[in-house]
Amino acid sequence: MKFLKKLFASKEVKATEGELYQQVPFQFKKLSNLMSQYSEKYCTETEIVFRKFRKKWNSSLTRFEIDMFFLSSLSFSICELKQNMDVIRGVQTYFNSLLQNFSAQKVSGKIIENRVKNYCKLKHDCINDKNRTIETEMLNGLLYHIEGVLVVGNIAETYPVVIQDFFGEAEFKSVMFPVHMRISGEFCCCLKHLFKSTSDIRFLSSDKIDSLIGNGKKEAKDILSNLDFKR
């Protein structure tokens, strides 16, 4: 997982968040907005499921864990789909500045880094093991963090495993899995179209990025239409 070391290897950002935001390419800002939109949507729909089956919910804590999941998808895609190293470094620097917001809420930068690394390692391991289903294991990993943070009541490096009723858990995941596939799957399709189109996203115009995102959404819709999911 050498690409993850590169992703988190740069020196501490000296500029303020506002200064850095003015300096970064608009393409990076569009990536950030895209990730935020999907994370917010995932959070909103997951809250509905959790309130039905689990009752307990905390929007700020769970949003952090969901943000980390989507950040890991972005990190994995941007490296695996071979973006220029300057792009990887630039995106890393920009997202480091955004993640300083979490540090202000007393979330350790190490926790953020380890969350992303662990999700990326899990996905990488699943790709190399045909007996493991990527999306099922990624969902299980995310649910571990969401349920754990709700039990503990604050963000931590690790959480206790929450044991649920077997039949209730089966019903819960049967509802949660389509939500996960629809939102996370569409996000990954968008990233694939963006990063496969060029090795340097900084050369894409705003209209081209929007067009590629549209293509990714269409592909995701076509894939899901062939699956037996309740839409």
Q: Distance between CA 173 and CA 154 in Å, rounded?
A: 24
Residue 115 inside a domain? The answer is yes
- The residue with greater pLDDT, 87 or 63, is 63
Which residue is listed with tokens 């309130």?
51
Q: Which of 12-26, 153-167, 217-231 bottoms out in mean pLDDT, i.e. has the lowest? A: 12-26
Check whether 183 has a pLDDT greater than 70. Answer: yes
Q: Distance between CA 75 and CA 79 in Å, rounded?
A: 6
Whole-number CA gyration radius for the chain: 18
3 state SS of 161: coil
Check whether 6 has a pLDDT greater than 50. Answer: no
The percentage of the chain sitting over the pLDDT mark of 70, rounded to a whole number, equals 83
Residue 21 inside a domain? The answer is no
Q: Alpha-carbon torsion 65, 39, 35, 80, what sign?
A: positive
Q: pLDDT digits over 167-180, tens only?
A: 778 899 999 999 99
Residue 65 is predicted with a pLDDT of 93
Residue 3 inside a domain? The answer is no
Residue 13 inside a domain? The answer is no
Check whether 231 has a pLDDT greater than 70. Answer: no
Contact 122, 137 (CB under 8 A): yes
Residue 7 inside a domain? The answer is no
Range of the domain at 112: 28-225
Residue 97 is predicted with a pLDDT of 66
Check whether 14 has a pLDDT greater than 50. Answer: no
Q: pLDDT digits over 91-115, tens only?
A: 777 776 666 565 556 677 788 888 9
Residue 59 inside a domain? The answer is yes
Mean pLDDT (the chain, rounded)? 83
The whole-model pTM stands at 0.84
Residue 16 inside a domain? The answer is no
Residue type, 187: F
| Mean pLDDT value of segment 34-63 | 92
Q: List all residues 6 or more positions away from 106 whose beta carbon is below 8 Å from its beta carbon.
A: none
DSSP 200: -
Residue 103 is predicted with a pLDDT of 54
163 pLDDT band, cuts 50/70/90, is confident
Residue 12 inside a domain? The answer is no
Number of domains into which the chain is organized = 1
Check whether 3 has a pLDDT greater than 80. Answer: no
Contact 172, 164 (CB under 8 A): yes
Phi, psi of 157 (to 5 degrees): -65, -45
